[in-house]
Amino acid sequence: MASKGTAYLLWLFWLIGFAGVHRFYSGKPVSGVIWLFTWGLFGFGQLVDLALIPGMVDEKNLKYLALRGSNPTPNNVQTVVVNLGGQVSGQIPGQISFPDTASLQPQQLPQIAPNPQSDMVTILKLAQNKGGSISLVDAVIETGKPAPEIRNLLESLCNDGLMEIGNHESTGAVIYRLV
């Protein structure tokens, strides 16, 4: 790991004609060569580097830690969150604890909305089993859904060309026939 103090000491080498040594130390070899041959950009670059040295050293140290797989922020504490039975508990670093089983409440499963595709299949199978035609009442009884919802479903089956709407010959009731 690079030290800021060492970088500042190497910065002083420009006084004896070796400008840019601190840049080599800080992991900036290209600009170090430029500083070496231009005497630190004619001295102006050397003066600017007095303010830039801490950032260059920190950058080199972060790259070093990243290559070694170390954590660049040692104050960062990892937390494990365990969700058992709807309760969430955070962990103190280095300590593992589990909630008391007596305090766990049974968790309600979310209600899943029925799949309208399965209602379509149910209605088509019903029509197939009843000789190819059904009434609105037959479909409501089979699916257990409200009549307006089933009516919309039957109309969409008619629009898709799977069924056609008609009337029963003797009673005149509205029926839906398989195409």
d(Cα 118, Cα 43) in Å, to the nearest integer?
Answer: 80
Is the distance from CB of 123 to CB of 140 less than 8 angstroms?
A: no
Is residue 14 assigned to a domain?
yes
Number of H helices, E strands in the chain: 7, 5
| Contact criterion met (CB below 8 Å) for 19 and 13 | yes
**How do the pLDDT tens digits run along the chain, 179 residues long?**
889 999 999 999 888 888 999 999 999 999 999 999 998 889 899 999 999 999 999 999 888 888 877 655 555 556 666 666 655 455 555 555 555 555 556 666 556 555 556 888 888 888 889 888 899 889 999 888 898 988 998 888 889 888 898 888 888 888 898 88
Dist CA 38 CA 32 (whole Å)? 10
Tokens of 135: 């009434």
Could you give the number of structural domains in the chain?
A: 2
**39: in domain:** yes
User: Is residue 120 a part of any domain in this protein?
Assistant: yes
Domain range for residue 160?
116-178
What is the CATH classification number for the domain harbouring 124? 1.10.10.10
